[in-house]
Amino acid sequence: MSYECAVCGYRSGVRQEFVEFNDPVKLPKAAERAKSKGRVVRPEDAKYLCLKCSQELYQEETRGPRLVRVACPSCGAVVEVWL
């Protein structure tokens, strides 16, 4: 049996290289990534993701730290904190 990644189109017969994709919440994001790679993903065709695409899809979107000024509740002194 051959498995195919719904996002990038990678095909292989090795099941360990793929994860099942049963997440309707992430389906629009997966479809968007596939479209950027020139592919069209229909919900019924999105059965498997390769490990690389799965990791990219589920990694947390991080933002850089930002400087915030906060006031001490006890004395009222203003302090700059990186969040």
Task: Give the pLDDT confidence score for residue 67 in this predicted structure.
Answer: 87
pTM (global) more than 0.95: no
pLDDT digits (tens, 9 = 90+) for 41-77: 888 878 999 999 999 888 866 667 888 899 988 898 9
Task: Give the pLDDT confidence score for residue 49 in this predicted structure.
Answer: 93
Report the C-alpha gap between 11 and 64 in whole angstroms: 36
pLDDT digits (tens, 9 = 90+) for 7-46: 999 999 999 999 999 888 888 888 888 998 888 888 887 8
Q: Which residues contact 47 (CB under 8 A, 6 or more apart)?
A: 6, 20, 21
Q: Which amino acid is at 3?
A: Y
